[in-house]
Amino acid sequence: MMMKYELGHIPIEEIAWGQKTSVEGTLLQINREKLLEKTRGDDSRITSVRADIAKPGESVRIIPVKDVIEPRVKIDGKGGVFPGLISGVDTVGEGRTHVLKGCAVVTAGQIVGFQEGIIDMSGPGARYSTFSKLLNIVVCIDVKNGIAHHEHEEAIRLAGLRAAAYLGEVGRSATPAHLERFEMRPPFRSKGDDLPGIVYLYMLLSQGLLHDSYLYGQDMKNLLPTLIMPTEVMDGAIVSGNCVSACDKNTTYHHQNNPVIRELLNRDGIDLHFLGTVVTNCNVTLKDKTRSARYAVKLVHMLGADGAVITKEGFGNPDADTMMYCARLEEKGIRTVIISDEFAGVDGASQSLADTTPQADAVVSTGNANEPIALPHMDKVIGDIRVIEKMAGGQAGSLSQKGITVELQTIMGATNELGFEFLTARDE
């Protein structure tokens, strides 16, 4: 039985404040007061919300950025957007979803943790981030003084999802300019299927202390690895709750548009059989790492995989999980490819990963996050530029009269480990 999913693209090429929130051609008009109302909701932890628009090419810097979210609306099929958080817990990934393509909701405001990021809409920093090429609706959210960090994170996370859901609703009555169709075959191979079977092992950061990801609203650190349909990811089943370094954070937008899933779906039945997606976590203790690695490898092996693509999120501690998954899969005869960024020092001469294994002989690099970059002043800052000296990749003295000098790890998505950007490194 085939599982079918359609993604309708509604192109957005311009954004403006207006009397009502609507799509007219490729123009998204937004009622600012209504957006602010929907973003705040009834959350008493939020003291104020401000909204700005940032467009590609403008002299605008957004800092600190918490999350980026693509507005979508569920048109047909069970469930709604961001299940378990904004809508019920029905399983998604079938039917039709409409997406406002070319724009995003960006959450900013008071800094939650030191590992948040920058989006520059122009200048040298813009070339490192997909988000610099989007029409961004920025919601700056302030919360009550003294609330716990995890409460602060949750308030901003949910506010951003509410904003994206509100804007996505305008796509309900719009006619998509382009309709993508995806069909998922049953995961187990039938007799005579001689294409290599590939499983995607999708590691999500789940270490606590503002390093969390959510599947159907459930914190991933409390779950065993699980098999899901790739289209569930497209349909908003995974949401970011991370304040991990901006360069390799998987924002909600990254999950919604995961390029590994899209590539494997496009090649399914041509030169490979995409057997499925195993979502697993990156843990803190050795006991938890071992449990997840053994269970995830069991699922991949049960699917009859010949190979697996492994992506991770973050660096340091997650490197150990990655190598554990890799080694155990290779021991089962399942060949692996790892996608990872590097933290090789500002001169590129340090050890790139915190852990390794001889079995990791096929690794795709998405760049060195420690590489320094000078970013000029921008005419407008949405947020607070002073926090740059507290952020991962910045330091005391980063802010000067000439602009800011930081590492690439401050730029949202610069070395994203799903292969979202253009950076890589080669062993010459």
pLDDT one-digit tens code per residue, 201-241: 999 988 887 889 999 999 998 899 999 999 999 999 999 99
What's the confidence (pLDDT) of residue 26? 97
Per-residue pLDDT reduced to its tens digit, 63-115: 999 999 999 999 998 899 999 999 999 999 999 999 999 999 999 998 888 88
What's the confidence (pLDDT) of residue 193? 74
What's the confidence (pLDDT) of residue 90? 92
The one catalytic residue in 103, 243, 282, 326 is 243
What's the confidence (pLDDT) of residue 1? 58
Which of the four pLDDT bands, split at 50, 70 and 90, describes residue 346? confident
What's the confidence (pLDDT) of residue 192? 61
**Mean pLDDT confidence for 251-276:** 94
CA distance readout (Å), 392 to 175, 207, 371: 43, 17, 13
pLDDT higher than 70, residue 301: yes
What's the confidence (pLDDT) of residue 160? 97
Q: Where are the beta strands (DSSP E) in 254-371?
A: 273-282, 307-311, 335-342, 363-368
Helix (H) and strand (E) counts for the chain?
7, 26
Q: Residues 376, 377, 382, 386: what is their CA dihedral angle, to the nearest 10 degrees?
A: 100
* Mean pLDDT for the chain overall: 92
What's the confidence (pLDDT) of residue 209? 77
Cβ neighbours of residue 390 closer than 8 Å, sequence gap 6 or more? 111, 114
Per-residue pLDDT reduced to its tens digit, 8-38: 999 999 999 999 999 999 999 999 999 999 9
Q: Which residue has the higher pLDDT, 270 or 187?
A: 270
The residues spanned by each domain of the chain are 3-181+192-410
The answer to whether 243 is a known catalytic residue is: yes
pLDDT higher than 70, residue 43: yes
**Mean pLDDT confidence for 231-253:** 93
Cα distance between residue 283 and residue 292, in whole Å = 8
Quote the tokens at residue 17: 């404040």
11: cis peptide before it, omega within 30°? no
What's the confidence (pLDDT) of residue 428? 63
Least confident of 83-87, 269-273, 345-349: 345-349
pLDDT higher than 80, residue 426: no
What's the confidence (pLDDT) of residue 401? 78
Centroid of chain to Cα 424: 19
- Three-class DSSP category at 152: helix
Q: Are 100 and 70 in contact (CB under 8 A)?
A: yes
**Mean pLDDT confidence for 114-121:** 92
Cα distance between residue 193 and residue 195, in whole Å = 6
**Mean pLDDT confidence for 332-356:** 90
What's the confidence (pLDDT) of residue 189? 63
Least confident of 39-48, 142-151, 252-261, 388-397: 388-397
Instruction: Write down the pTM of the prediction.
Output: 0.95
Which of the four pLDDT bands, split at 50, 70 and 90, describes residue 188? low
pLDDT exceeding 90 applies to what percent of the chain? 77
Cα distance between residue 353 and residue 316, in whole Å = 7
